[in-house]
Amino acid sequence: MNRVFLIGRLSRDPELRHTTSGMAVCQINVAVSRRTGAGRDPETDFINVVVWDKQAENVSRYLAKGRQVAVEGRIQTRSYDNAEGKKTYVTEVVANNVEFLGSASDNNQKSTSSNENPFDFETPNEEPVTTSVDDDPFASFGEKVEISDNDLPF
């Protein structure tokens, strides 16, 4: 079985090209952290990923250097003769699925100041719900429901 799952960040902007038949192909490079052992700093691998067709166009349009992605695909090896006539071998991941993680604003390092609560927002046109410590938390808020011991699953 040849299946790969990667989660990392783009180390450069996507490169979109088209084949002679007009199919889109996009190359991205994903920086993935790798644990190396106890007490040692993690290392980073830079994995070449190839994305095809409509997904390649979406990757090129919506992703940029620094964006976090999850890639599912397969490993492929190929070879070609370079400009000097020497055989060059390439190992890359051919993506079946690329998920965009985080948001575009994550790249801008947007942060709130220490005195702002990011969850503090007003809901328009709604009255605030207030409760009192004198309210009965077990008060009936509808029709009475009869449950017998025979209705319990245990």
Residue 127 per-residue DSSP state:
P
- Determine the Cα–Cα distance for residues 152 and 143; give it in Å rounded to an integer: 20
Q: Does the pLDDT value for residue 62 go beyond 80?
A: yes
Residue 123 per-residue DSSP state:
P
What's the pTM? 0.65
Q: Does the pLDDT value for residue 48 go beyond 50?
A: yes
The 3-class SS string of 11-43 reads CCCCEEEECCCCCEEEEEEEEEEECCCCCCCCE
pLDDT, tens only, 103-114: 766 655 444 444
